[in-house]
Every structure is written in C-alpha cells, then in structure tokens.
Amino acid sequence: AMDILEGIRPWVEIESPTTEPDAVNRLVDLVEGEFESIGMQVERIPGRDQRGDHLRARTPWGGDGPGILVLGHLDTVHPIGVLHNQLPLRIEGNRVYGPGIADMKGGAYLALNAVRYLMAQGKTTPLPITFVYNSDEEVGSRTSKDLIEETARQAKHVLVCEPGRNGGSVVTARKGSGRFTVSVTGQPSHSGTNHADGRSALKELAHQILQLEAMTDYERGITVNVGVASGG
C-alpha cells in the first residue's frame, strides 16, 4: 500500500487546475511517461481552447476488437498554491489528504497501476484495455467529448475510476447536467460620493444566486448550484 501511495504522491504534487493548461500538461507528461514505461501504446491529443492535452493508451494485447475502456481525468478544481497552503499532502492515520487525491488522481493512478501489476506478472486480460485520461472534466469535458464518445463506442465495457460512495458503493449512472453563465451589468458610480447614482451588479448577482439556488428540488432529483462567481 505504501508503494502505491508513493506512486500517487507525484501526481498530487503536480497541481493541475483545468484553467492552467501548462500545469495540467506537466502532469500529462508524467502520466504519458508512466504509460510508455509499462509498454502501453500511447496517443497524445493536443489541447485546445486553453485546455490541456488528453491521453489515450492501449494495452499491446487483445487485438483491435471491443474491449474495456477506463476513463479518468487529470485536471482538478483546486487553484495553484492550494498544495502549499490550505491543502498540503499529508497522511493522518489511514487517510491521505491533498488536492485531487480522491477526485481523481488516486483512482486514475490505481487503474494504471493495476495494468502495471498485470504486466509485471506476465499476464494479459481476455479483452484489450484502453485508457482515456482527459484534462477538462471539471468544466464539462468540452474539448474531450468527441474523443470520449468515439472511444466509448468501440468498447464493450466502460469503467470510470472516480471515487465511489460511502460504504464501498459503486456509482453506475449519472443524471444529466447543464452549465450556464449569467452576466450582470450594473451602473458604475463612486461608492463614497455618488453612491445613490450607482447600481451594483454584485448586489443583483447575489439576488440572482438566491433565486437560482431556490430552484433545487430534491424530490425530483434536481439540484442547482452556483459554483463560481466573480465581479466588482
């Protein structure tokens, strides 16, 4: 277990927020090298639209028929600097903390390590195994959607190495989601001398956030979450 943890450590120590493609690609470099070092056939798909690169790797066995697709992502939500401030990599008892350790660097590493272990034993699987590790999952996988769908259509089984649920439950489905951007424009005015002439966009945004969050309906399984807000 400690060997596995030491393998996960460098993945977590390379901070990889989705919005920093150069940072994500430093992790992609590491993971690409690990795939190649165990004999996987690796394809690197260049990023676009300010997103990092994606990886597709396939076992050298099993032919070209439908096989097992392992899906994962290398980007995280944590901004650069969190590792050295709010969320350092640390071990407390049987728990490990760090940015992206569970979602999903730990899971992505474990899947790769399982194939590494098979190869070290000189074993293969009846079906070929293909990995797709993308770099923009946390913002909706827009630049990797076609790659994922194309590869998934050729697979017989798909495994996603996201963390499970409490008690060891496995997630077998996800509800659909939509992503929207709301822009609010105010009337600028000096907050000290001409306060009455201004109209605060942030104040209006606060009202909008409350109305949007109020649309949540747990009985119908509908959740509305305002994830990021900025202004001023």
- pLDDT of 164 reads 82
The H-or-E segment that residue 2 falls in is helix 2-13
Is the domain of 70 the same as that of 114?
A: yes
Tokens (6 digits) for 126: 């009846």
Same domain, 43 and 151: yes
pLDDT, residue 5, reads: 93
Q: Is residue 188 part of a domain?
A: yes
78 and 186 housed in the same domain: no
What local confidence, expressed as pLDDT, does residue 199 receive?
95
Whether 165 is in a domain gets the answer no
At 165-223, the pLDDT tens digits run 888 888 888 888 888 999 999 999 999 999 999 999 999 999 999 999 999 999 999 99
Contact 163, 103 (CB under 8 A): yes
Which of 137, 160, 183 delimits the end of a domain? 160
Domain hosting 218: range is 173-231
Q: Which of 138, 160, 182 is the last residue of a domain?
A: 160
pLDDT of residue 35: 98
Prediction pTM value = 0.85
* Helices and strands in the chain: count of H runs, count of E runs: 5, 7
* 1 pLDDT above the threshold of 80: no
Is residue 56 very low, low, confident or very high in pLDDT (cuts 50, 70, 90)? very high
DSSP E strands, the chain? 41-45, 54-58, 68-73, 90-92, 95-97, 129-134, 157-160
pLDDT digits (tens, 9 = 90+) for 120-163: 999 999 999 999 999 999 999 999 999 999 999 999 999 999 88
Cβ atoms 74, 135 nearer than 8 A: yes
Kindly state whether residues 52 and 80 are assigned to the same domain: yes
**30 and 119 share a domain?**
yes
The 8-class DSSP code of residue 140 comes to: T
Q: With a cut of 90, say whether residue 14 has pLDDT above it.
A: yes
Q: Look up the CATH number of the domain holding residue 104.
A: 3.40.630.10
For the chain, give the number of residues: 232
- Report the number of distinct structural domains present in the chain: 2
- 145 and 41 within one domain: yes
Q: Do 147 and 215 fall within a single domain?
A: no
151 and 207 in a single domain? The answer is no
Same domain, 26 and 84: yes
Q: Is 39 among the domain residues?
A: yes
- On whether both 91 and 182 belong to a single domain, the answer is no
Mean residue pLDDT of the chain comes to: 94
Q: Got the DSSP string for 101-136?
A: IIIIIIHHHHHHHHHHHHHHTT---SS-EEEEEES-
Residues 131 and 203 in one domain: no
Question: For residue 166, what pLDDT is reported?
Answer: 86
Taking residue 84's Cβ as centre, other Cβ atoms within 10 Å add up to 11
